[in-house]
Amino acid sequence: MSNQYRPPHARVADPAAGARPRSIDAALVFIGMLVLVECYHQVMNLREVHNGEMSGLAWVVDWIWVVAIIASGIFVARGRNWARWVFAIITLHVIYEYLDARLFLSGFGDGAAEFFDPFSLWILPMSSLFAIGATILSFGPGRAWFR
């Protein structure tokens, strides 16, 4: 006689353990591009440290931010819900940095291109755009995947 209350022999799969959605893959690409842009900023800041325009401690603290972006990206890739909230806070910080830089550059008027590399002026908003894109994708279409 078979016991009808015995659990089935088939393995039950967790629906949340499926493959990552494409929106989260795109968000991870944006996070990777953000890390590259932030590393570029750090290399450019190294010249300012050498000239004495920036303290070495501030440069090290900025590297801690880069490590925080990398760590939150790794945990977003693993589907941790708290990591996308941490990344949202990082996004607010990156937006603040961009607005602060634009305020600084507005003091130069139209002659800002004389004092700064044109590539640096072009890449300045990229970190904010990548962070905003990753945050929108992780809180928008990809939110159901997080646990």
pLDDT digits (tens, 9 = 90+) for 3-41: 777 776 766 554 455 688 999 999 999 999 999 999 998
Whole-number Å distance between alpha carbons of 28 and 6: 43
pLDDT top residue among 147 and 1: 147
5 lies in a domain?
no
- pLDDT, mean over the chain: 86
- Phi then psi dihedrals of residue 118, to 5 deg: -60, -30
In the chain, what percentage of residues exceed pLDDT 70?
A: 88
Q: Kindly state the tokens that stand for 60.
A: 């090290």
Average pLDDT over residues 45-50: 87
74 lies in a domain?
yes
Say what the pTM is: 0.80
- How many domains is the chain partitioned into structurally? 1
Q: What is the residue range of 120's domain?
A: 20-143
103 lies in a domain?
yes
